[in-house]
Amino acid sequence: MMDKDLRWITAQWLKANGYDGLYAPDECGCLVDDLMPCGEPSPQCAPGIKIDCTEEEHAEWACRWHVVPSEQEAERED
């Protein structure tokens, strides 16, 4: 039987519940396919969804996406 570690269990739960990854407010975010790249979860990690960066965010931080709470996506669309 395959050992199921914290990353695997977390990834399965995130996928089953419609999330794209984890985020820690004002710190970082990671997608299901590359969970916890720092080697361990932060106590602040929470489930989130992937959104594309705005042009301003891309220019300032050279980012392509963020992982944010679902409610933040709804606010951006308003």
Reported as a single tens digit per residue, the pLDDT across 8-58 is 999 999 999 999 999 988 788 999 999 988 887 788 899 999 999 888 887
For residues 49 and 61, the model is more confident at: 49
Q: Which residues lie across from 28 on neighbouring strands?
A: 24
Using CA atoms, how far apart are residues 6 and 63, in angstroms rounded to an integer? 27
Q: How far apart are CA 49 and CA 18, in angstroms?
A: 8
Per-residue pLDDT, 1 = 46
Q: What tokens were used for 22? A: 């984890």
pLDDT for 75: 60
Which uninterrupted H or E stretch holds 60? helix 55-61
**Predicted local distance difference test score (pLDDT) of residue 62:** 83
pLDDT at 73: 53
d(CA 61, CA 47): 22
- pTM, two decimal places: 0.77
